[in-house]
Amino acid sequence: MTYQTFDPTALSQPDLHAYLLAAIGPRPIAFASTVDREGRRNLAPFSFFNVFSSNPPIVVFSPARSGRDNTTKHTLDNVLEVPEVVINIVNYALVEQMSLASTAYPKGVDEFIKAGLKPIASQTVRPARVAEAPVALECSVEEVKALGDGPGAGNLIIARVLRIHIQKDYLDADGSLDSSKLDLVARMGGSWYCRAWGDALFEIPKPIRT
């Protein structure tokens, strides 16, 4: 086997970004709903996202600085003003509307309207939920940690889950989330996505413990 080896410090930021995002995937998508101090809604997807603890229930996502002009995302600006967020989970039925919401609209533009999605009131936080999302997590923002101040630098938003909303259609007879019904999507490199559906899903029994 032969390898091409890189020193990350020798690559341009766009090239390093492209290699990392193509290699590390599929990545789940946080469709994050926030508000600014004036109550204006924002909705944007982020694939630097995962769950990191169940006790306490903690999810983390990272809005990165723009690789073009080093500006920050409205989502980051909003959680610094109002430390609350709703993480809406994206399935295949939502993916086109999610993509519409990813457009870099001017501050104050409501992506719920642009993407044709229905906002519904949350129980414990000010940002609205996406009615169409199969799962929505109401969260308080516990900490924001900047990882740098240059183009492409991430900002870890560490959020505690306060409420979990699940559309009943995605539950099985035992009340558990059914992966075969959820039809989740995830990000790959470039403009590529993947879909957790049909033959893409498989089970591997856990090894026998001795």
User: Which residues, including other chains, have CB under 8 Å from residue 86's CB and lie 6 or more apart?
Assistant: 32, 33, 34, 122, 125, 127, 128, 129, 130, 136, 137, 138, 139
pLDDT band at residue 192 under the 50/70/90 scheme: very high
Q: Which of 70, 74, 68 is nearest to 157 (CA)?
A: 74
Query: Which residue shows structure tokens 């990191």?
Result: 52
Sheet strands (E) in the chain: 30-35, 41-46, 49-54, 57-61, 84-89, 119-120, 129-130, 135-146, 155-166, 185-187, 193-195
Quote the pLDDT of residue 208: 82
Residue 4 tokens read as: 């091409």
State the first-to-last Cα distance of the chain, in angstroms, to the nearest integer: 36
Tell me if the bond preceding 56 is cis, omega within 30° of 0.
yes
Task: Say yes or no to pLDDT of 16 above 90.
Answer: yes
Q: pLDDT band for 206, please (50, 70, 90 cuts).
A: confident
Q: Which fold has domain 27-190?
A: Pnp Oxidase; Chain A (2.30.110)
Six-digit token string for 105: 């609209």
Sketch the domain layout of the chain as residue ranges. 27-190
Residue carrying structure tokens 């903690």: 58
CA–CA dist 50, 127 (Å, integer): 20
Average pLDDT over residues 40-46: 98
How many other CB atoms are found less than 10 A from the CB of residue 2?
A: 3
> Pick the residue with more confidence: 195 or 208?
195
Q: What is the pLDDT of residues 77-105, one digit of tens each?
A: 999 999 999 999 999 999 999 999 999 99
Whole-number pLDDT of residue 30: 98
- Check residues 68 and 112 and name the one with the higher pLDDT: 112
Check residue 63 and give its pLDDT.
Answer: 98
Question: Which residue type is seen at 169?
Answer: D
pLDDT at 34: 99
What is the pLDDT at residue 172?
94
Structure-model confidence comparison of residues 28 and 209, the more confident one: 28
Q: Give residue 209's pLDDT.
A: 77
Instruction: Give the pLDDT confidence of 114-127 residue by residue, as tens digits.
Output: 999 999 999 999 99
* Residue 169 binned pLDDT confidence (cut-offs 50, 70, 90): very high
